[in-house]
Amino acid sequence: MSDHAAPDHIDNMLHESRVIAPSEEFAAQARITREQYEEMYRRSLDDPEGFWGDVAGELTWMKPWERVLDWQEPHAQWFVGGETNIAYNALDRNVERGLGGKTAIIWEGEDGEVRTYTYAELLREVNRAANALTALGVQQGDRVTLYLPLIPEAAIAMLACARIGAVHSVVFGGFSVSALADRINNAQSRLLITADAGQRRGGLVNLKANADEAAALAPGLERVLVVNRANTHPPMQPGRDLWWHEALAAASDEHEAVPVDSEHPLFLLYTSGSTGQPKGVQHTTGGYMVGTYLTTGTVFDLREDDIYWCTADVGWVTGHSYSVYGPLLNGATVLMYEGAPNHPDWGRFWDLIQKHHVTILYTAPTAIRSFMRQGDALPARYDLSSLRLLGSVGEPINPEAWMWYARVIGGGRCPVVDTWWQTETGSIMLTTLPGAHPSKPGSAGLPMFGVEPAIMTREGEELGPDEGGLLVIKRPWPAMLRTVYGDDERYRKTYWGEIPHVYFAGDGARRDADGYVTVVGRVDDVLNVSGHRLGTMEIESALVAHPAIAEAAVVGRPDEVKGESVVAFVLPQSGAEVDPQDLRAHVSREIGALARPDAIIVADALPKTRSGKIMRRFLRQIAAGKEIQGDTSTLEDPAVLERLAATEAV
Ligand code: WT7
């Protein structure tokens, strides 16, 4: 565990006192009013079985559950004994209730190509893919790794896996060869689904070339299914590689969804923790389905005619829960955009909103801050009047960015929901409901149904209003992770072992007298760079794998756009020269471009205690250009700090 309480860059948030009520117009037509929230929330805590049973009952189950919850700390089973299929609920169920002709996905490629799928069309494609996967020998419980651009086939592949009870493991297309290989190996996937290339900032990301290199490092991988996205004609290895379109063309578009146990694993999603090894967060079917279904409908106040756009890539949990599963379970029309927000210029998002009449936009503070830097004139050139609701996710949003988002993008009429949750929580945990609650910019807000948060000390003592401490959740919820794949001990320790009997989120937070929770940032050695979670230890292991580096310590530094940026303190091997560009390229190769250090400080020593522990607290102060504060007397050599502070970053 780390030696700091919370990053300092959110100081200003703690002094924010604006309260912004939803417009009367929005409140009057909201799906959930304040009174309803109060009543539903109370029931969700007093009678969880009744509450969740009712929500689950809105969806289709092939076999009813016997018990809503079986909680053997730290293991929860939800809808015990029930059988369902999430792809059935996302597709067949909607077709059956008359939405077959409704648009499910509007997809736009970075080059402007547009494709749409109705619910009936999407169902047929998913059926074909499910049959194709079965023909390839994929069986219930098998893990299938996906390494794809943000194209409809990504959603189709996820749903096809779910339809046959296979477990998908999506790896973000920006991750490197070795990150991909590690994830394939950890999940023991025999099948990888990739594409020849994806479009990004006017260029191509050659996914197939990475997949080929990763396959060479993954001895258990047998087949590679390749989507032809960009006509780049990659070499295909006979016997191993197969074109997606050929496999689907040969398959029937009829398929009966396989009923799976409510606790059958749905997906793995690897995320960074405080060790060097990312963990495979495992989600299961029934609880995740119910959690994402309820939160998407209520937090986004979803209506029949909404055009809903969550900008997240399917490589992250937001893309799983709120680009694919949650909205499709609700029968919504979802926009998917493949490319960069600044291609061909920073007006691209506004162009997409205008063109597709987007009504709900859900994006990350880092994007909002980038847009804000471009000024108000650019969005003003577009008609954004279709928007009625805005959402934020992934990192703390500073009140300035919140206000800009509400005013310039939301035209002063759209409520903004700031949603706090995690890969592990599966669904939104803290937020305001758009028509029910006033917002306090910078504060995520109130607990979602069934969520019982508290702020505690490390010793498990509950803190009162406005006292800063650790954010915990006091009871299980349906969409929570069930384990860390292949490492249940790590699951127990990380989430239920830090403070007895509560879920430990790894975030610092405080709660005000109205119950609004402000999440200030990670308290473990995890960074949040542009809303992407990175472990400092992962970057450190990448750095020391370089022949010129003997030792490394990585910390975050406040960054106006990215929230945090990566600062690396490195100790060269004796006699070695450090080439900063080469070192950055090396980190990109080892993890991915998102982990590249912004600043590298070549040091002759690191601040260590006599027992050899690196005091990152001081490194964070130096990285931020601050005065050294705190007790330096435990350091073996306090003079190291002055030397580091005087060293120019490269
Ligand atoms: C970490 C989880 C939630 C899906 C995307 C990120 C930070 C997330 C907020 C928010 C303040 C937030 C936390 C959390 N975080 N949302 N609204 N306000 N912080 O998922 O990669 O698992 O990261 O993101 O630090 O622990 P993730």
pLDDT band for position 11 (cuts 50, 70, 90): very low
Binding residues for ATP: 394-396, 418-423, 507, 522, 533
Q: Which of 585, 617, 583 is nearest to 602 (CA)?
A: 583
Tell whether the model's pLDDT for residue 14 goes beyond 70: no
pLDDT band for position 362 (cuts 50, 70, 90): very high
Whole-angstrom distance, CA of residue 118 vs CA of residue 346:
30
Tell whether the model's pLDDT for residue 520 goes beyond 90: yes
Minimal-distance CA residue to ligand 1 atom 23: 422
Whole-angstrom distance, CA of residue 214 vs CA of residue 232:
19
| Alpha-carbon distance values, 289 to 139, 163, 314 (Å) | 21, 13, 16
Q: Which of 117, 104, 62, 276 is nearest to 182 (CA)?
A: 276
Q: CB–CB of 197/148 below 8 Å?
A: no
For a ligand 1 pocket test, name from 421, 484, 518, 534 the mutation site with the most ligand atoms within 8 angstroms of its C-beta.
421
Mean pLDDT of 499-513: 97
Tell whether the model's pLDDT for residue 460 goes beyond 50: yes
Tell whether the model's pLDDT for residue 3 goes beyond 50: no
What is the distance in A from the centroid of ligand 1 to the CA of 562? 13
What is the distance in A from the centroid of ligand 1 to the CA of 531? 7
What is the distance in A from the centroid of ligand 1 to the CA of 515? 19
What is the distance in A from the centroid of ligand 1 to the CA of 358? 24
ipTM: 0.99
Mean pLDDT of 535-557: 95
Question: For all residues of the chain together, what is the average pLDDT?
Answer: 95
pLDDT band for position 5 (cuts 50, 70, 90): very low
- pLDDT of 1 reads 38
Whole-angstrom distance, CA of residue 490 vs CA of residue 79:
25
Mean pLDDT of 474-500: 98
- The share of the chain scoring above pLDDT 70, in percent, equals 98
Burial (Cβ within 10 Å: 0-12, 13-18, ≥19) of residue 146: buried
* Dihedral sign of CA atoms 198, 312, 164, 169 in order: positive
Binding residues: 200-203, 318, 342, 394-396, 418-423, 507, 522, 530, 533, 544, 546, 549
Tell whether the model's pLDDT for residue 15 goes beyond 80: no
For a ligand 1 pocket test, name from 271, 519, 523 the mutation site with the most ligand atoms within 8 angstroms of its C-beta.
519
Burial (Cβ within 10 Å: 0-12, 13-18, ≥19) of residue 189: buried
pLDDT band for position 114 (cuts 50, 70, 90): very high
Whole-angstrom distance, CA of residue 7 vs CA of residue 622:
13
Q: For residue 416, give the H/E element and its range.
A: strand 416-419
Given the CA of residue 392, which atom of ligand 1 is nearest to it? 17
* 191-214: pLDDT as tens digits: 999 999 999 999 999 999 999 999
What is the pTM (predicted TM-score) of this model?
Answer: 0.95
Tell whether the model's pLDDT for residue 84 goes beyond 90: yes
Binding residues for CoA: 200-203, 318, 342, 530
Minimal-distance CA residue to ligand 1 atom 19: 395
* 157-197: pLDDT as tens digits: 999 999 999 999 999 999 999 999 999 999 999 999 999 99
Minimal-distance CA residue to ligand 1 atom 2: 422
- pLDDT of 8 reads 44
What is the distance in A from the centroid of ligand 1 to the CA of 102? 32
What is the distance in A from the centroid of ligand 1 to the CA of 137? 37
For a ligand 1 pocket test, name from 417, 533, 594 the mutation site with the most ligand atoms within 8 angstroms of its C-beta.
533
Tell whether the model's pLDDT for residue 12 goes beyond 90: no
What is the distance in A from the centroid of ligand 1 to the CA of 521? 8
- Which residues does ligand 1 sit against, CB inside 6 Å? 271, 316-318, 393-396, 418-423, 444, 505-507, 519, 521-522, 528, 533
For a ligand 1 pocket test, name from 528, 538, 562 the mutation site with the most ligand atoms within 8 angstroms of its C-beta.
528
* 408-459: pLDDT as tens digits: 999 999 999 999 999 999 999 999 999 999 999 999 999 999 999 999 999 9
